[in-house]
Amino acid sequence: MKKIKTALVSVFNKDGLLPVLKKLSDLGINLYSTGGTYDFITQNGFRANTVESLTNYPAILGGRVKTLHPKVFGGILARRENENDLGELQQYAIPAFDLVIVDLYPFEKTLAQTQQQQEIIEKIDIGGISLIRAAAKNYLDVLVIPSVEMYDSLLSLLEKKHGETDIDDRRFFAAKAFDVSSHYDTAIFNWMNPGNIQSLKVSEQKANVLRYGENPHQKGIFYGYPEDVFEQLHGKAISHNNLLDLDAAVHLIDDFEETTFAVIKHNNACGLACRENLTQAWEDALAGDPVSAFGGVLVTNRTVDAVTASKINKLFFEIILAPDYNSEALEILKSKKNRIILKKKVYSFAGEQFRSILNGVLWQERDTITETNANLEIKTNTKPSATEIEDLLFANKIVKHTKSNAIVLAKNKQLLGSGTGQTSRVDALQHAIEKANVFHLSLEGAVMASDAFFPFADSVEIADKAGVRAVIQPGGSIRDKDSIAYCNQNKISMVFTGIRHFKH
């Protein structure tokens, strides 16, 4: 055990610091401090020494340099079991610091509030980050508190051990210190990097421990802030698989402006419809695959009313996500204890994605392109009607969010069937046709969307015989002419987008 005798306090955020100062005072711990922190300490009736009185240097360069001095860092880094170090402390009249309390300039908060370069630069902490690293390095002798978020933990430790610490205490807080410093530096690097430095720096400090991972025998943690995306109004804790489905649901629904309801199962839409009336949108989305909807995730872009809630309540489902619910609808949906009810917030997602593979990380830009009429290039003699174009764009939005190989069949802005994650495009199409047939959804006059080009004309021929009259695809196959020729011979319209939407 080591007794704390001398402490250095230099913090930006002083919320919650007063109880700590009182405890330090009660324990008779000698304090050194800087600038605004010194003023805060003394104005609240506690005694402290200025760092300037130790270094014989004032704060200079507008406060950029305050603690960067051998008399400060010598007192932190001195090894208490090293006779030479102790001798130099005595020779140069340097106090040995047993406790260092720091809270850094709020770089990330400043970055979120302004684009003014000079203001951001001045919030890059130099002295504070150096104090944290020095104290953490010398954790064998020094306790470091690296953030306002740990003031309460320090207070608890001081009360429990009466101003003494053991090696486990100091190592724990040292690890937290390097967590803070590495996260801080990551934010600075990502702001400064013009994009041509190919180095991946990602840091997330919010750990949400899940019930388990993808399966019950796997541990799972989500690092991030789901509360920024939605508010949970009811139900059990959200699981690993729930989060994956919610990610798919949020990005899918954000591509639709009309009144839309979708049912998500294993990251894919198994039902989706756009209608003027929310209840009708729900009923037609459910009709697309009422079997798969069981236990699914429901998502809409409109406030849920009581009539729609009553219809929804007849189905067993895991989660519903909507921008809002009226009070009666919320009470109806809360009738199931474990049902997860989420209120979707307006949130802008980062334009990049990561995936861990082969002990490495894949990085890519997020697929944010959503085609409009302007992106369509008609390739056939038969031109799609205005209604068919609407359905083609509707189907193309869904196929963009469907696992490859993917085919989507739709009509009147209703998902009729989809083939997801198949090993061939023909298999995906046949699966989509089978889905529509099972639920007695007519494909006569339907449209087909493909997430990638058709390597042969066989898929177009199969779709034609099932009733499909218009096709949307990226194009780009060396045999595009075969598919176009078949469409021309059979009076089917085909449009190219020039954009592939693989989703692996």
Q: What is the SS3 assignment for 92?
A: coil
Backbone dihedral angles phi then psi of residue 478, each to the nearest 5 degrees: -70, -15
Of the candidates 155, 162, 125, 9, which has an alpha carbon nearest to the alpha carbon of residue 76? 9
d(CA 47, CA 447): 78
Asked if residue 55 has pLDDT above 90, the reply is: no
Asked if residue 423 has pLDDT above 90, the reply is: yes
* Those residues with Cβ within 8 angstroms of residue 87's Cβ, 6 or more apart along the chain or in another chain: none
Residue ranges matching CATH 3.40.140.20 in the chain: 221-344, 373-496
d(CA 328, CA 185): 48
Question: What confidence category does residue 57 fall into, taking pLDDT thresholds of 50, 70 and 90?
Answer: confident
d(CA 422, CA 435): 14
pLDDT one-digit tens code per residue, 166-209: 999 999 999 999 999 999 999 999 999 988 898 888 888 999 99
Global pTM?
0.87
Helix axes 70-77, 127-137, angle to 10 degrees: 30
Asked if residue 62 has pLDDT above 90, the reply is: no
pLDDT for the residue numbered 500: 96
Is residue 303 within 8 A of residue 324, CB to CB? The reply is: yes
Mean pLDDT along residues 144-161: 95
Mean pLDDT along residues 82-94: 92
Residue ranges matching CATH 3.40.50.1380 in the chain: 2-192
Of the candidates 34, 66, 72, which has an alpha carbon nearest to the alpha carbon of residue 50? 34
d(CA 106, CA 113): 11
Report CA-CA distances (Å) from 121 to 177, 193, 273, 304: 22, 14, 49, 46
Could you please state the CATH topology (level 3) that the domain comprising 373-496 is classified under: Cytidine Deaminase; domain 2 (3.40.140)
d(CA 115, CA 119): 8
* Those residues with Cβ within 8 angstroms of residue 266's Cβ, 6 or more apart along the chain or in another chain: 245
Amino acid making up residue 202: V
Question: What confidence category does residue 320 fall into, taking pLDDT thresholds of 50, 70 and 90?
Answer: very high
pLDDT averaged over every residue in the chain: 95
Asked if residue 66 has pLDDT above 90, the reply is: no
Q: What percent of the chain has pLDDT over 70?
A: 100
Catalytic positions are 137, 266
**Given 3.40.50.2300, 3.40.50.300, 3.40.140.20, 3.40.50.620, which CATH number is that of 221-344?**
3.40.140.20
According to CATH, the superfamily of the domain at 2-192 is Methylglyoxal synthase-like domain (3.40.50.1380)
Residue 187's H or E segment, with its range, is helix 167-192
pLDDT for the residue numbered 198: 87
Tell me the chain's radius of gyration from C-alpha atoms.
31
pLDDT for the residue numbered 196: 85
pLDDT one-digit tens code per residue, 10-38: 999 999 999 999 999 999 999 999 889 99
pLDDT for the residue numbered 63: 82
* Those residues with Cβ within 8 angstroms of residue 504's Cβ, 6 or more apart along the chain or in another chain: 403, 404
Beta strands in 275-397 (DSSP E): 297-300, 319-322, 340-344, 352-357, 360-365, 377-378
Pairing assessment for the beta strands 297-300 and 260-265 based on DSSP bridges: antiparallel
Asked if residue 242 has pLDDT above 90, the reply is: yes
Of the candidates 441, 369, 376, which has an alpha carbon nearest to the alpha carbon of residue 409? 441
Per the listing, tokens 């720096």 go with 201
